[in-house]
Amino acid sequence: MAFAGKWEVECQEGYEEFCKLLGIPDDIIAKGRDYKMITEVTQSGETFTWTHIYPRDAKVTNNFTVGKESDMETIGGKKFKATVTMDGGKLCVTFPNYHHTSEICGGKLVETSKTGSVVFKRTSKKL
């Protein structure tokens, strides 16, 4: 149950370069640069509801069970199927254009997304 709770972004590394590679418009990148995004996670065993709350109350919620194929959605609204796996305490999933991991390190939620050589790391504190 380590992931369960409400989390607020503390810091981000590689945000702008990552967003540009995904084709996110500059005005949207600017709005999100300093926004303290909230992540809400509920967990029941291996089943999760994972919600990212973006500026202007935009939300993306993904429901998944570790090891089972699930319907997922990106912030851009692209729907796809993916299987979230657990690897040494990290939740891992491959989105259409990048690989994403989530883990708890030192009581913080650390989310890392990688596409090619570009890495975006977001660290959030528990509220």
Q: pLDDT tens string for the chain (127 positions)? A: 699 999 999 999 999 998 888 888 888 888 778 788 899 999 999 999 999 998 777 789 999 999 999 999 887 778 899 999 999 999 999 888 889 999 999 999 999 999 889 999 999 999 9
* CB of 126 closer than 8 Å to CB of 6: yes
* CB of 52 closer than 8 Å to CB of 60: yes
Residue 50's domain comprises 5-126
Amino acid code (one letter) for 34: D
77: Cα separation from own chain's centroid: 14
Instruction: Tally the domains of the chain.
Output: 1
Strand pairing report for 90-94 and 99-105: antiparallel
Domain of 67: which CATH number? Answer: 2.40.128.20
